């Protein structure tokens, strides 16, 4: 319920893990979503969707925004983040950049 005021900011949610069905129920009728089998599948689908976006949103961002624990897939949040990074870097045309502040 706390997230409902922000649903309009979500173009599409890519759900993974054992709680994907619970999240799908919460999102039903409020924003677009798809359930994916893995982080890799979710990242690849999100990248495809972002590349094909012809709306006037400007630059598209794909965020990893965990809504719950993912111990069914990862032993800790660091490994989940590392997997997200690895999946993004595995996409064609993506290079890791380091910015120095």
Residue 85 pLDDT greater than 80, yes or no: yes
Give the pLDDT of residue 16: 93
β-pairing, 33-35 vs 13-15, is parallel
With 0-12 / 13-18 / 19 or more C-beta atoms within 10 angstroms meaning exposed / middle / buried, residue 57 is exposed
Give the pLDDT of residue 57: 65
Tokens of residue 62, six digits: 């794909």
Output the average pLDDT for the chain. Answer: 86
Per CATH, is 4-89 categorized as 3.30.70.1070? Answer: no
Give the pLDDT of residue 29: 92
For residues 73 and 75, give the distance between their C-alpha atoms in angstroms, rounded to a whole number: 7
Residue 55 pLDDT greater than 90, yes or no: no
Residue 62 pLDDT greater than 80, yes or no: no
Q: What is the pTM for the complete model shown?
A: 0.79
Domain map of the chain by residue range? 4-89
Give the pLDDT of residue 36: 95
């Amino acid at each position: 319920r706390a997230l409902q005021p922000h649903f309009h900011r979500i173009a599409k949610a890519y759900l993974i893990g054992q709680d994907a069905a619970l999240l799908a129920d919460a999102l039903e009728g409020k924003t677009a979503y798809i359930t994916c089998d893995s982080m890799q599948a979710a990242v690849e689908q999100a990248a495809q969707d972002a590349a094909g976006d012809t709306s006037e949103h400007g630059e598209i961002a794909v965020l990893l925004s965990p809504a719950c624990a993912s111990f069914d897939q990862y032993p800790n949040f660091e490994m989940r983040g590392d997997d997200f990074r690895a999946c993004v870097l595995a996409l064609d045309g993506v290079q890791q950049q380091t910015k120095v502040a």
